[in-house]
Amino acid sequence: MTDAVHDYDLLVLGGGSGGLATAFRAAGLGARVAILEPGALGGTCVNIGCVPKKAMWLAADLVGRIDLARAIGFSIPSSTLSWPELVAHRQGYIGNIHGSYRRRLDADGVVLIPQRGRLLDAHTVECGDGVRVSAGHVVIATGAHALRPPIEGAELGLVSDDFFNLCEAPPRVAIVGGGYIAVELAGLLQALGSRVELYVQGERLLERFDAELARQLAENLRHQGVRLHFGYRATALRRGEQGLRLHDGDGQPSEAVDQVFFAIGRRPNSKDIGLEALGVRIGDKCEVLVDDYQNTDVPGLYAIGDVAGKVGLTPVAIAAGRKLMDRLFGDQPQARLDYDNVPSVVFSHPPLGQVGLGEEQARARYGDAVSVYRSNFRPMLHALADSPQRSLFKLVCVGEDERVVGFHLLGDGADEILQGFAVALKLGVTKRQLEDAVAIHPTSAEEVVLMR
């Protein structure tokens, strides 16, 4: 395995979740590994993404549960959130993750180079300080960044990353976007004290999720106080005496707000790292084009995670990196990640999770062979408190044996419930097999096996 011609067997550009998992797996298989990361270890997920987002989501969830507790008879005095104290706990948790990464790097013998790297050829990287290092294999794991729209005054607004710099909830907030980040921010800020206006260019939320569940989520958000504006095209952002105002395609101003967040998507960090000069193909959305085995067009050069533009989820980047290392260093020449049926969750209030095909996708692929089952209900706690929030669970099945091709769950606990059913879907579970399972009562999860 050791190649004396090069300094290392593997260089990883990027110390996010995917890059770190790649480095650790390679080192565990005996490779000499170095990872280049100029910023904080853990990348977007740990520092300005999944981890701090979930911490804020948990705080927002507690706000809702305190209200439910009052509604069913608990005498709870009014309380306010100390946002700085919450942030201190959040950042302390993240600091512990950083520490565990550093200890693991040391234990596994992975060299951390705190520099930005630029490729000179398929095996040589020049660090920001001019030092050059080489390896037999190089993995691009540089992640992605949040976009700003090309409109007048865009610089007056914030992007989703900036949410984690807040020290309090702005009284009035506008969020531009209809994807999972926009939806998550809307729920968080509304629960934590902001009055939220959500401006969506399309006619529905969450284009990649089942439309029926997206409609129910929109209704739940309205009950929580979020104001939704569909079919909205922002053309300018301007500051006046009363605050910031968005302007639509007709030039009409929105209500004034204190802060605007743009959550309109992310773009891979593929520029200025030497890829084009090497002949690496870049896609229309700046993604590094790779095959099913994470290979670029240049032998010895690979890409994983957000920069590869396949499925932009942290566990996907981790899994792809590990499979790639199994192939390169673990004597598993056919190892690769299966990108079909990847489960995902939007941490809305309540959370929305899915794995497999939505109803529209299934009907487009299988036509009349599709059968759909659904359960629309109020979870027990919300029913006890006479809260209007509803859950919607849905199965999408195909064929005479009704093989399940899609699980779609909107409701309390959906994020935890989905994992097990995602395994069942990968194993080819049928509707009859779900029916044969004994329900756990009373739970929301039992609805999945009781649908008729």
- pLDDT on residue 333: 97
Is the domain of 17 the same as that of 131?
Answer: yes
Is the domain of 115 the same as that of 139?
Answer: yes
Which of 329, 364, 379 is at the close of a domain? 329
- pLDDT on residue 4: 66
DSSP state of 294: S
Dist CA 188 CA 194 (whole Å): 9
- Residue 164 CB neighbours (<10 A): 17
pLDDT in tens, 196-234: 999 999 999 999 999 999 999 999 999 999 999 999 999
Examine the pLDDT at 49 and tell me if it is beyond 70.
Answer: yes
Is the domain of 310 the same as that of 384?
Answer: no
pLDDT in tens, 412-423: 999 999 999 999
Which domain does 215 fall in, by range? 154-264
pLDDT in tens, 89-126: 999 999 999 999 999 999 999 999 999 999 999 999 99
Asked whether the bond before 268 is cis by omega within 30 degrees of 0, the reply is no
Which pLDDT band holds residue 43 (cuts at 50, 70, 90)? very high
DSSP state of 133: E
Q: Does 427 reside within a domain?
A: yes
Q: Does 74 reside within a domain?
A: no
Q: Does 385 reside within a domain?
A: yes
Which one from 98, 229, 408, 441 is the annotated catalytic residue? Answer: 441
Is the domain of 278 the same as that of 373?
Answer: no
Q: Does 214 reside within a domain?
A: yes
Q: Does residue 67 sit in helix, strand or coil?
A: helix
Is the domain of 206 the same as that of 117?
Answer: no
Is the domain of 227 the same as that of 277?
Answer: no
In the block, residue with structure tokens 């105002």: 245
429, 449 contact by CB (below 8 A): no
Which pLDDT band holds residue 78 (cuts at 50, 70, 90)? confident
Is the domain of 171 the same as that of 287?
Answer: no
Is the domain of 182 the same as that of 225?
Answer: yes
The contacts of residue 377 (CB under 8 Å, 6+ apart) are 390, 391, 444, 447
Which of 225, 246, 264 is at the close of a domain? 264
Dist CA 361 CA 353 (whole Å): 16
Percent pLDDT > 70 in the chain is 99
Question: Looking at the chain, how many residues does it have?
Answer: 452
Q: Does residue 196 sit in helix, strand or coil?
A: strand
Examine the pLDDT at 288 and tell me if it is beyond 70.
Answer: yes
Q: Tokens at residue 441, please?
A: 């009562």
CATH number for position 13: 3.50.50.60
Which pLDDT band holds residue 79 (cuts at 50, 70, 90)? confident
Cβ contacts of 37-42, under 8 Å, gap ≥ 24: 37/112, 37/113, 37/114, 38/114, 38/115, 38/116, 38/128, 39/15, 40/98, 41/15, 41/98, 41/101, 41/102, 41/112, 42/15, 42/16, 42/17, 42/94, 42/97, 42/98, 42/101
Is the domain of 22 the same as that of 141?
Answer: yes
Q: Does 229 reside within a domain?
A: yes
Q: ∠ CA 319-321-322 to the nearest 5 degrees?
A: 65
- pLDDT on residue 1: 53
pLDDT in tens, 326-341: 999 999 999 999 999 9
Cα distances (angstroms) measured from residue 164 to each of 44, 261, 312, 452: 11, 12, 20, 44
Is the domain of 214 the same as that of 304?
Answer: no
Q: Does residue 140 sit in helix, strand or coil?
A: strand
The contacts of residue 364 (CB under 8 Å, 6+ apart) are none
Cβ-based burial of 249 (10 A; exposed 0-12, middle 13-18, buried ≥19): exposed
Q: Does 78 reside within a domain?
A: no
Model confidence, pTM: 0.95
Nearest C-alpha neighbor of 406 from the set 169, 211, 150: 211
- pLDDT on residue 305: 97
CATH number for position 444: 3.30.390.30
Q: Tokens at residue 62, please?
A: 């507690």
What is the pLDDT of the chain when averaged over all its residues? 96
pLDDT in tens, 311-320: 999 999 999 9
The alpha carbon dihedral of 51, 52, 57, 58 has a sign of: positive
Is the domain of 93 the same as that of 136?
Answer: yes
Question: Considering its fold, how many domains does the chain have in total?
Answer: 3
pLDDT in tens, 256-287: 999 999 999 999 999 999 999 999 999 999 99
The contacts of residue 417 (CB under 8 Å, 6+ apart) are 353, 409, 444, 445, 448
Dist CA 200 CA 197 (whole Å): 10
Annotation marks residue 441 as catalytic: yes
Q: Does 61 reside within a domain?
A: no
Is the domain of 198 the same as that of 260?
Answer: yes
Nearest C-alpha neighbor of 182 from the set 287, 266, 291: 266
Examine the pLDDT at 2 and tell me if it is beyond 80.
Answer: no
- pLDDT on residue 408: 98
The contacts of residue 187 (CB under 8 Å, 6+ apart) are 57, 60, 221, 224, 226, 347, 348, 349
> In 189-262, where do the E strands start and end?
195-199, 227-229, 236-240, 243-247, 259-262
Q: Does 129 reside within a domain?
A: yes
Residues linked to residue 392 through DSSP beta bridges, in sequence order: 376, 410
